[in-house]
Amino acid sequence: MACAKKLAVLAVVVVGLTACKPNFTQSKTQFPVPTSLNAPAPTHAHTNRLAHEKSPYLLQHQYNPVDWYAWGEDAFAKARQENKPIFLSIGYSTCHWCHVMERESFENEDIARYLNENFVSIKVDREERPDVDKIYMTFVQATSGQGGWPLNSFLTPDLKPFFGGTYFPPESKYGRPSFLDLLKQIHQLWDTRPGDVAASALQLHGQLEQMNAKAATNDVSLNRTAIAHAAAQFKETYDPRNGGFGDAPKFPQPSQPAFLLRHGVHANDQEAVRMVLNTCDHMAAGGIHDQLGGGFARYSVDAHWLVPHFEKMLYDNAQLVNLYLDAYLVSGESRYADTARDIIRYVLRDMTHPEGGFYSAEDADSEGKEGKFYCWTRAELAKLLTPEEFNVTVRYYGITEQGNFVDHSDPSPLPSQNILSLVEPNLPKADEPLLQSAKAKLFAARAQRVRPHLDDKVLASWNGLMLGAVARAYAVLGDESYRAAAEKNLAFLQAKLWDPKSKTLFHRWRDGQRDTVQLQQAYAYLLAGVIDLYEATLDPQHLDFAIALADGMIARFYDREHGGFWQSAGSPDLILRVKEDYDGAEPSGNSVAVLALLKLGAITERAEYKQAAEKTLGLFGSRLQNFPQAVPYLLLAFDFSLDEPKRVVIVGDPAKPETRTLLRAAHSVYQPNKVVLGNTGPVEPFAKTLPTKDGATVYLCTGTACQAPTHDPAKIRELLK
């Protein structure tokens, strides 16, 4: 905390200004729809060097009059040679406020001219380079107390930040400077007080290094009381009326309810279980859930999940599949399984490359209006539906003449817009056919609308999350199409992003090309997904690949002296090496790596995996104990580490129906602290000694002790409970 205060003071001394962050609960600004990345480019007055990039976000800025550079040595060299400060702007292609600032400032000729004359301007896609984003986000959060995207920072030519913020308005208001005024003040400071700027940037960098180094001093003895303590803190923030944790805006942050559900079942805390199930119900009923097309938006701007920020992210939906599968296994209620199916249906239909890779995101806007693709007026429904269908639909979704969504920041908002949410879900059975007929008509009509922009890059990290979710859905729900989709996805990733000779995993593929970036998060997420696929299929080739990923991750990113994984390999374009320790909308690479390595260690009995996981847990011990709300996924891993995991060893040909029946039984019980393995391939030696007993056989083992072998699916479920 002291370091953060010092950073803030230093940044204010340097510039004397503060950035503003838009209020997402109050304001929604209109912006034009990005040009389709696959359509012929229209004629533009300007085309900058971003036209040569593959990132959809960078390509959205290719026609700005700003002379943008991509992150790289060309930009750095220009800044050094001309002794100019760097203006670094970070965002992503479906970021609402990134587009707002582009329209207001980066398409403005006067602002662009000033930037081009006095700065070297760099654009970064945070989804492709989370390692770059992490460094400068940490700086902005420490100096301003807030963060978000667009993330805008000013750097010295040696990449050290000296001022930053999020969204800057085009005009001065509310006591805040306009973006152009800010640029002029920074330029004047750079010209008149270069020594002060350089000295402050150096000192700020030292403070950042000190903050980052402190994470390596954690040394706390952890036990199960830390789990109970964390659960109690999460429960304190529960919203009993609307479900969820905390107030508006509400993000699903699936690892938090996933942890609370695990604690509730393990500790027989029925209150915790009810909190999670109620949250799942409210989210599924809300406007954050696309009631027609499936999938979930990134967050809700209100407390009751009605009005979403309409963008859909692959990583959210992957984690929510797992949460709803957990809710189904714990409760036995089919509605949770239906929601998981609904998400997967959306992803396979709208977010999947023909060869199997999963796309990254869909935007919030279409035709210059946020939510236009998703919303309806009462009059539209009356034209589309029969009177009987209309009456049922109006009751079910709570359709009103005035609507429930207005974009107040739009000078000409669309009138009478209704976001679909379940207002009266318990319709009489006789009305069900009418509702289904109405939904089919609405979905078909919506399919004729202009779709939101699709970010069609394929990221190894996020694909790993969805791979694991789809594989687990196959294991739990038994739908063979899920297995086929998971296998196809893995084949795509291995073909496009994996180099088998050097055992290197790259991060991004798009339009026939992969990048050269290697990120620990990519290895960790994909490792976790491949382990899920192995446990769902018992294909030893998947276990071989999991071992290759684990070995590559440890070799490239593991800190053998202190524990923990660096976010990226050492690189001259990064001023800090960071160990990610925050489980937000996405879990950290460290958290995912710990749980995956613990599982892989139990399956293979390779001590190095367990040792790396346990040393990493120790590194973040004080964070687990003192700030558990920051690391809910790491709490899942910590919980797994506290007891010897149950090992479900299935002996038999996994391609045969009787083996698959036993495999389904092993996955039909909520028992997260278990692993499922076969007895062929690189599994632990004891499993290989277990014989078949008149066909496919299951052994439930802990250590070297096993229950009596069984062929009975009901017995397997009983033993796991």
663-687: pLDDT as tens digits: 999 999 999 999 999 999 999 999 9
pLDDT band at residue 220, thresholds of 50, 70 and 90?
Answer: low
Region of poorest pLDDT, from 9-13, 538-542, 688-692 = 9-13
SS3 assignment, position 571: coil
* In a shared domain, residues 73 and 190: yes
Sort 248 into a burial class: Cβ within 10 Å, 0-12 / 13-18 / 19+: middle
Mean pLDDT of 334-338: 98
Region of poorest pLDDT, from 53-67, 82-96, 169-183, 280-294 = 169-183
pLDDT band at residue 139, thresholds of 50, 70 and 90?
Answer: very high
**Residue 484: which CATH number?**
1.50.10.20
* In a shared domain, residues 20 and 150: yes
pLDDT band at residue 16, thresholds of 50, 70 and 90?
Answer: very low
| Distance separating alpha carbons of residues 137 and 133, to the nearest angstrom | 6
| Distance separating alpha carbons of residues 297 and 362, to the nearest angstrom | 9
Q: In terms of residue numbers, what domain contains 244?
A: 225-455
The β-bridge relationship of strands 151-155 and 308-309 is unpaired
* In a shared domain, residues 552 and 695: no
* In a shared domain, residues 413 and 467: no
Is residue 218's pLDDT more than 60? no
Q: What is the full DSSP assignment across 419-475? A: ----SS----GGGHHHHHHHHHHHHHHHTTSPPPPEE--EEHHHHHHHHHHHHHHHH
The β-bridge relationship of strands 365-366 and 369-370 is antiparallel
* In a shared domain, residues 129 and 159: yes
Amino acid 144: pLDDT: 87
User: What are the pLDDT digits (tens) for 516-556?
Assistant: 999 999 999 999 999 999 999 999 999 999 999 999 999 99
* In a shared domain, residues 632 and 657: no
* In a shared domain, residues 113 and 191: yes
User: What are the pLDDT digits (tens) for 589-626?
Assistant: 999 999 999 999 999 999 999 999 999 999 999 999 99
Amino acid 636: pLDDT: 98
Q: Which of 521, 509, 533 is nearest to 585 (CA)?
A: 521
Q: Which of 166, 192, 217 is the last residue of a domain?
A: 217
Q: Catalogue the long-range contacts made by 550-553 (C-beta closer than 8 Å, 24 or more residues apart).
A: 550/523, 550/596, 550/597, 550/600, 550/609, 551/503, 552/503, 552/504, 552/505, 552/523, 553/520, 553/523, 553/524, 553/527, 553/593
Q: Which of 603, 468, 490 is nearest to 543 (CA)?
A: 603
Per the structure, how many domains does the chain have?
4
pLDDT band at residue 210, thresholds of 50, 70 and 90?
Answer: confident
Is residue 225's pLDDT more than 80? yes
Sequence-distant (≥ 6) Cβ neighbours of residue 640 within 8 angstroms: 595, 598, 599, 672, 673
Amino acid 223: pLDDT: 87
Cβ proximity of 611 and 542 under 8 Å: no
pLDDT band at residue 5, thresholds of 50, 70 and 90?
Answer: very low
SS3 assignment, position 526: helix
* In a shared domain, residues 596 and 463: yes
Region of poorest pLDDT, from 313-317, 322-326, 402-406, 630-634 = 402-406
- Return the structure tokens found at 705: 């002790």
Q: How much is the mean pLDDT over the chain?
A: 91
Rg (CA), the chain: 26
* In a shared domain, residues 189 and 294: no
Q: Which of 627, 643, 659 is the last residue of a domain?
A: 643
DSSP assignment letter at 313: E
Beta-strand runs (E) in 47-150: 69-70, 86-91, 120-125
* In a shared domain, residues 536 and 410: no
- Tokens 């396979």: give the residue: 348
Q: Which of 163, 198, 217 is the last residue of a domain?
A: 217
% of the chain with per-residue pLDDT over 90: 84
* In a shared domain, residues 194 and 179: yes
* In a shared domain, residues 628 and 681: no
Amino acid 326: pLDDT: 98
Residues belonging to the chain: 721
| Distance separating alpha carbons of residues 450 and 439, to the nearest angstrom | 19
Q: What are phi and psi of 269, to 5 degrees?
A: -95, 90
Mean pLDDT of 20-31: 31
pLDDT band at residue 569, thresholds of 50, 70 and 90?
Answer: confident
Amino acid 46: pLDDT: 87
